[in-house]
């Protein structure tokens, strides 16, 4: 699902928002999103979250520019058990 650009109402800073289901906390306690790259490569990007609404959450990548408008993020999380007999990336249709 592509990221959306916007502006934080409280600060006026440009932000990116993603579906809430794209954000997850790892066992290490870091909040992240999985970005879908060329050839289906998946990369974990650490983020800080902001305001939420209408099923979306503002994110700010720890390193600027890692997630921008149009970046494709993976929504939902599949465990090994849920993958049995299934294929695909878990990516939502736009």
- As beta bridge partners, residue 7 has 14
pLDDT at 7 over 60: no
**Residue 23's pLDDT is what?**
95
- As beta bridge partners, residue 35 has 43, 73
**Residue 72's pLDDT is what?**
93
The domain made up of 4-77 is a member of CATH 3.30.300.30: no
> With helix as H, strand as E and coil as C, how does 47-71 read?
EEEEEEECCEEEEEECCCCCCCCCC
**Residue 76's pLDDT is what?**
78
Find tokens 């902001």 and name the residue. Answer: 50
Contact between 8 and 51 (Cβ < 8 Å): yes
**Residue 17's pLDDT is what?**
92
In the chain, domain spans: 4-77
pLDDT at 37 over 80: yes
Mean pLDDT of 67-76: 90
Q: Quote the DSSP letter at residue 9.
A: T
pLDDT at 91 over 60: no
């Amino acid at each position: 699902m592509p990221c959306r650009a916007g502006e934080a109402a409280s600060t006026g800073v440009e932000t990116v928002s993603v579906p809430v289901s794209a954000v997850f906390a790892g066992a290490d306690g870091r909040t992240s999103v999985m970005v879908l790259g060329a050839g289906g490569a998946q990369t974990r990007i650490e983020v800080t979250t902001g305001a939420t609404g209408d099923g979306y959450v503002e994110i700010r990548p720890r390193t600027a520019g890692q997630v921008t408008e149009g970046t494709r993020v993976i929504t939902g999380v599949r465990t090994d058990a849920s993958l049995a007999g299934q294929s695909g990336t878990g990516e939502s249709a736009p």
